[in-house]
């Protein structure tokens, strides 16, 4: 009998394809990133867990963020893939065709399905590495970080299932607000966090702490590429 993880994965995406995933890694990391940015800086890599369930919680400033994450926390570094939770619209068209084969899976941000939530928890139970953008969308305005409730609710659901999940705040920064060719890019990983309490008050408190840690990580990334702290 297929496992619950495999069954739900079939319903949502095609998993990590053994042909397309390594090819995408070479294309994006060895060709695209290395030629687009003159420097790619990684800070705090010692904060990346190499084992057990982990959720990476990055700031979202550009479509380059996903490539920076796979470069700094993907299979070549941690020995495991980044399983991105993305919006349903991102899983459409040609882009969606590739994302389906690179381990990404869709979520309806307004009304997440139980299938998606259970699949995310199954991935954590399997000790995998998820990527969830807590802001929900790209924010180029430099406004204060505003987090949605999705990640913290997912963490609380996982805790109810007995999953000891680590959440790593991540900050991504570029030398320009809209990344330019031959600019600089940086990513900073902060110390992992845990949520062990249920309820709205605990969720609100956790989101506030997560937001502060993401902001600090982003400021460290921006400082390393020569932009002033805000």
Phi-psi region of 182 (alpha: psi -120 to 50; beta: other; left: phi over 0): left
Residue 110 confidence (pLDDT) above 80: no
Segment holding 213, helix H or strand E: helix 200-224
pLDDT of 229 reads 59
If you write DSSP's letter for every residue of 94-122 in order, what string do you get?
A: HHHHHHHTBT-EEE-SSS--HHHHHHHHH
Residue 185 confidence (pLDDT) above 70: yes
Dihedral pair phi/psi, residue 102, rounded to 5°: -115, 15
| SS3 at position 57 | strand
pTM of the model: 0.92
Interval 15-71: pLDDT, tens = 898 999 999 999 999 999 999 999 999 999 999 999 999 999 999 999 999 999 999
What's domain 4-224's superfamily in CATH?
Glycerol-3-phosphate (1)-acyltransferase (3.40.1130.10)
């Amino acid at each position: 009998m297929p496992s619950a993880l495999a069954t739900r994965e079939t319903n949502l995406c095609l998993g990590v394809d053994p042909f397309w995933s390594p090819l995408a890694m070479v294309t994006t990391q060895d060709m695209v990133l290395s030629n687009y940015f003159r420097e790619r800086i990684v800070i705090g890599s010692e904060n990346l867990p190499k084992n057990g369930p982990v959720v990476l919680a990055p700031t979202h400033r550009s479509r380059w963020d996903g490539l920076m994450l796979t470069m700094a926390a993907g299979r070549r570094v941690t020995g495991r893939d980044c399983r991105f939770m993305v919006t349903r619209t991102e899983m459409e068209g040609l882009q969606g065709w590739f994302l389906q084969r690179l381990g990404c899976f869709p979520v309806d941000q307004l009304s997440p399905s139980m299938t998606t939530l259970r699949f995310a928890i199954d991935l954590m139970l399997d000790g995998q590495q998820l990527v969830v953008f807590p802001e929900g969308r790209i924010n180029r305005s430099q406004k204060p970080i505003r987090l949605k409730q999705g990640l913290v609710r997912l963490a609380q659901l996982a805790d109810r299932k007995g999953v000891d999940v680590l959440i790593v705040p991540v900050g991504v920064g570029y030398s320009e607000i809209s990344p330019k060719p031959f600019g600089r890019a940086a990513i900073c990983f902060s110390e992992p966090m845990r949520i062990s309490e249920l309820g709205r008050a605990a969720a609100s408190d956790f989101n506030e702490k997560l937001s502060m840690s993401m902001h600090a990580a982003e400021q460290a990334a921006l400082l390393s590429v020569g932009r002033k702290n805000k």
